[in-house]
């Protein structure tokens, strides 16, 4: 979809919504509007990215309506057969998808590519090793964790006894706090991974603590999976009993999930069965096909360069904001994202998100550690560089993005037009779908 500069010179998207408009002008019209929004905005939502034309085509293929409940006939754990006929080719496809992702992550581990999402992958992993009421030690939502890591409004927080570790005064995961709480509560599971944590995670240290207290160790690497695949973050797979991920975000595939574990662990804990029939029905074979398509890009040498660009761009954006007087939680970033702390500005994430959107910069409000505001308001915004790196932005461009953001934070009423002009210069420089 994208050449080396991030440019896309095909007409796939335009042809697609124009075709849809022939059947449903309303739906085609909404897709057209979203197309132009993406085209004209700088996308800084850390969990979003652009995927290839081939991935999009797989998602819209004849596999969309193919039912294949169960697992391919060659599987040796969980349900070993399908519950529908006509699965010869989708069986082969699913096995191929599992095989190629082993290559991406350089492992011989068991891979389950059926989860509809990262949340489903997490739920299945919990179900395979825990009973309701068991204790999980994880990073809290306001310290950078995820809803499925024990939030009280989520199934994880209602089914399990949650104990949370925190970040220290620098904004880094406090490993002493992790160990202290692990020794005190003796959890059945220690979980790490995050949706809003910008520093490298020490997987070996977590694994040692889990071993010390006799806990299972699980990693949700959804946000950093692309960086792991590119070699810019240590892989958790050798250290964790079970690893979950999404297939979009930094991986640039379709929205979906995966679970990885040793073959022995998967069989002992009936990991496949925990997913199906445990928590979901038929797999989305069109999405599994799209997951298989995007692996080729992840194995291409250009993907490693893309991973480096993500980190370089994130650091350039963070440094650009810091030099303009804007506070970043932990003082910077090691991965694709950062948290802007607006508390000392007397601003909320909710209002800054809205102001930035008016200047065609897309981000999301986000809690910061010890946030005085509610999760619906927040004192921060989360920024990520995966999508803009795919689009072709470089470090100089990210400094311009930092300038536009700083203008909005300083005085959005006076500076919206000026910030929007900076954005237009960048989106014109890197046309997304032309």
What pLDDT does 142 receive? 86
End-to-end CA distance of the chain: 11
Spatial separation of the C-alpha atoms in residues 31 and 405, rounded to whole Å: 27
**202 burial class (0-12, 13-18, 19+ CB within 10 angstroms)?**
middle
Q: Is 361 helix (H, G, I), strand (E, B) or coil?
A: strand
Q: Which of 66, 75, 255, 391 is catalytic?
A: 255
Which of 46, 20, 15, 18 has the alpha carbon at shortest distance from 223?
A: 46
Q: What is the pLDDT of residues 125-139, one digit of tens each?
A: 999 999 999 999 999
What pLDDT does 14 receive? 78
Tell me the pTM: 0.92
Contact 123, 262 (CB under 8 A): no
Q: Examine the residue annotation and report whether 249 is marked as an active-site residue of this protein.
A: yes
Q: Which of 8, 95, 142, 220 is catalytic?
A: 220
Q: Examine the residue annotation and report whether 69 is marked as an active-site residue of this protein.
A: yes
Q: Examine the residue annotation and report whether 18 is marked as an active-site residue of this protein.
A: no
Q: Examine the residue annotation and report whether 291 is marked as an active-site residue of this protein.
A: no
**What angle (nearest 5°) sits at the alpha carbon of residue 22, between those of residues 21 and 28?**
10
Q: Examine the residue annotation and report whether 220 is marked as an active-site residue of this protein.
A: yes
Instruction: pLDDT band for 7, please (50, 70, 90 cuts).
Output: very low
- Mean pLDDT across the chain, nearest whole number? 93
Q: What is the mean pLDDT of residues 242-266?
A: 96
Spatial separation of the C-alpha atoms in residues 183 and 212, rounded to whole Å: 8
Q: What is the pLDDT of residues 151-160, one digit of tens each?
A: 888 898 899 9
Q: Examine the residue annotation and report whether 158 is marked as an active-site residue of this protein.
A: no
Phi, psi of 69 (to 5 degrees): -55, 140
Contact 378, 349 (CB under 8 A): yes
Delineate the domains of the chain, giving CATH numbers in brackets: 62-299 (3.40.640.10), 301-427 (3.90.1150.10)
Spatial separation of the C-alpha atoms in residues 304 and 324, rounded to whole Å: 31
Q: Which of 75, 249, 291, 382 is catalytic?
A: 249
Show the tokens assigned to 205.
Answer: 């240290």
Show the tokens assigned to 427.
Answer: 């989106």
What pLDDT does 85 receive? 86
What pLDDT does 82 receive? 86
What pLDDT does 80 receive? 54
Instruction: Judge whether residue 11 has pLDDT over 70.
Output: no
Q: What is the pLDDT of residues 20-50, one digit of tens each?
A: 889 999 999 999 999 999 999 999 999 999 9
């Amino acid at each position: 979809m994208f050449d080396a500069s991030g440019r896309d010179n095909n007409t796939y998207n335009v042809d697609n919504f124009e075709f849809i408009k022939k059947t449903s002008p309303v739906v085609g019209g909404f897709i057209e509007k979203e197309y132009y929004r993406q085209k004209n905005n700088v996308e800084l939502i850390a969990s979003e990215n652009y995927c290839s034309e081939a991935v999009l085509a797989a998602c819209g293929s004849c596999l969309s309506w193919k039912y294949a409940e169960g697992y391919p006939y060659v599987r040796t754990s969980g349900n070993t057969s399908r519950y529908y006929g006509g699965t010869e080719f989708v069986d082969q496809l699913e096995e191929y998808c599992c095989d190629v992702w082993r290559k991406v992550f350089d492992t011989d581990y068991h891979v389950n590519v059926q989860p509809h999402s990262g949340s489903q992958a997490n739920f299945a992993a919990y179900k395979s090793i825990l009973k309701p009421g068991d204790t999980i030690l994880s990073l809290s939502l306001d310290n950078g964790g995820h809803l499925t890591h024990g939030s009280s409004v989520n199934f994880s927080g209602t089914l399990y006894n949650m104990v949370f570790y925190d970040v220290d005064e620098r904004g880094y995961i406090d490993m002493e706090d992790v160990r202290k709480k692990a020794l005190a509560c003796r959890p059945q599971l220690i979980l790490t991974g995050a949706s809003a944590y910008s520093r490298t995670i020490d997987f070996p240290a977590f694994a040692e603590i889990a071993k010390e207290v006799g806990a299972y160790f699980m990693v949700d690497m959804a946000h950093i999976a692309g960086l792991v695949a590119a070699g810019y973050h240590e892989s958790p797979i050798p250290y964790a009993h079970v690893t979950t991920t999404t297939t979009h975000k930094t991986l640039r595939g379709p929205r979906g999930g995966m679970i990885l574990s040793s073959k022995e662990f998967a069989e002992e804990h009936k990991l496949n069965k925990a997913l199906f029939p445990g928590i979901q029905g038929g797999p989305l074979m069109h999405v599994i096909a799209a997951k298989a398509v995007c692996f080729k890009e992840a194995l291409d040498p250009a993907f490693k360069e893309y991973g480096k660009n993500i980190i370089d761009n994130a650091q350039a954006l963070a440094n650009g904001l810091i030099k303009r007087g804007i506070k970043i939680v932990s003082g910077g970033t090691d991965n694709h994202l950062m948290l802007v702390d607006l508390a000392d500005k007397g601003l909320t994430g909710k209002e800054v998100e809205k102001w930035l959107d008016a200047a065609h910069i897309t981000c999301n409000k986000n809690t910061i550690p010890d946030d005085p505001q509610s999760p619906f308001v927040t004192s921060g915004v989360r920024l990520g560089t995966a999508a803009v790196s795919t689009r072709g932005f470089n470090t100089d461009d990210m400094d311009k993005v930092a300038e536009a953001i700083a203008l909005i934070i300083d005085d959005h009423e006076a500076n919206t037009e000026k910030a929007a002009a900076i954005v237009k210069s960048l989106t014109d420089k890197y046309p997304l779908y032309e």
